[in-house]
Amino acid sequence: MDIGHTFDAHAVTVAFSIALLAGVSTGLGGLLVALKSKPTNRFLAGSLGFSAGVMVYISLVELLPGGIDDLAEVYGGRASLYGVLAFFAGVLLIAVIDRLVPEAINPHEFPDERSRDRARSTMMRAGLLTGVAIAIHNFPEGFATFIAALGDPQLALPIAAAIAIHNIPEGIAVAVPLREATGKKWAAAGWATLSGLAEPLGAAIGFLVLMPFMGPATLGLSFAAVAGIMVFISFDKLLPSAIATGQHHHSVYGVVAGMALMAASLIALS
């Protein structure tokens, strides 16, 4: 991975724009709810599986090795050790965030029909808390997208697309209970969009914190940690949600297709 260690304003703007586009895709889920449309289970299973395939492949084949290459400029033979430690630190970070979100509002499953029978006050609370939970989850995803785009915008586009795809059902998870509680479908869609804006916020704060320390070591550790975050998201969020649709085979087909597309794109870019 050829990653520069100095970034001009244009590179930062492009990277932030990609993170922003990934984040606002949560609003597409809210839009689907507002329009009373619902994707088929096969489409959701395939799309979520595809996202997982993209993110796992790019994390293990490109981001982690690229991070270790950067670390080698500073740490030499210890680069692999530090890269692996950073990878699992990323896993631990997102796992801790995941555990801090109460089980009842953790957005791992699609909203089911039983939610329609709950009291409106319960629906309102569920929708708002789910929005907060998703925002917490989206924060490190925004940094992950941003740091990848900062290194290589072409490489970051499929990552952003993968995150955008899995943000759509998260938007649905926020909008459905709020629509049922308030009867205001467009307001519910707006709240879903707002929850996704944690991604560009994560990108901005992450960059401002790291900017004074940008260099081979910082970038290498960041890429390795981002790889861990993405792998955890794929195994903990994307695949379980895909399987929950009841379309197991389409989930697997999506994973393979995502990996194949990323392999082809990396070969084409090399």
65 found inside a domain: yes
Residue 21 near residue 164 (C-beta atoms within 8 A):
yes
Q: Is 106 labelled as part of a ligand binding site?
A: no
4 found inside a domain: no
Bigger pLDDT: 220 or 179? 220
Bigger pLDDT: 133 or 10? 10
3 found inside a domain: no
Please count the residues of the chain: 270
179 found inside a domain: yes
Place of tokens 């740490």: 75
2, pLDDT greater than 70: no
Q: Is 103 labelled as part of a ligand binding site?
A: no
Please report which residue ranges of the chain form alpha helices under DSSP H.
Answer: 9-24, 26-34, 41-58, 64-75, 79-100, 120-151, 153-182, 185-196, 198-210, 216-233, 239-244, 248-269
> Residue 51: which residues within 8 A CB-CB, separation 6 or more?
161, 162, 163, 165, 166, 234, 238, 254, 258
Give CA–CA dist 144/43, Å, rounded.
Answer: 26
Q: Is 170 labelled as part of a ligand binding site?
A: yes
85 found inside a domain: yes
Average model confidence (pLDDT) across the chain = 76
Domain range for residue 78?
Answer: 9-269
Q: Is 73 labelled as part of a ligand binding site?
A: no
> Residue 209: which residues within 8 A CB-CB, separation 6 or more?
none
Please report, rounded to a whole number, the percentage of residues in the chain having pLDDT higher than 90.
10
Question: What region does 3 belong to: left with phi over 0, alpha with psi -120 to 50, or beta?
Answer: beta
Confidence of residue 133 (pLDDT cuts 50, 70, 90): low
| DSSP 8-state secondary structure symbol assigned to residue 5 | S
Helix (H, G, I), strand (E, B) or coil at 77: helix
Q: What are phi and psi of 248, to 5 degrees?
A: -60, -50
Using N-to-C axis directions, what is the helix angle for 9-24 and 26-34, rounded to 10°? 30
122 found inside a domain: yes
Number of domains in the chain: 1
Per residue in 73-110, pLDDT tens? Answer: 999 889 999 999 999 998 998 888 777 765 554 555 44
Give this prediction's pTM.
Answer: 0.64
117 found inside a domain: yes
Q: Is 138 labelled as part of a ligand binding site?
A: yes
Confidence of residue 117 (pLDDT cuts 50, 70, 90): very low
Q: Is 141 labelled as part of a ligand binding site?
A: yes
171 found inside a domain: yes
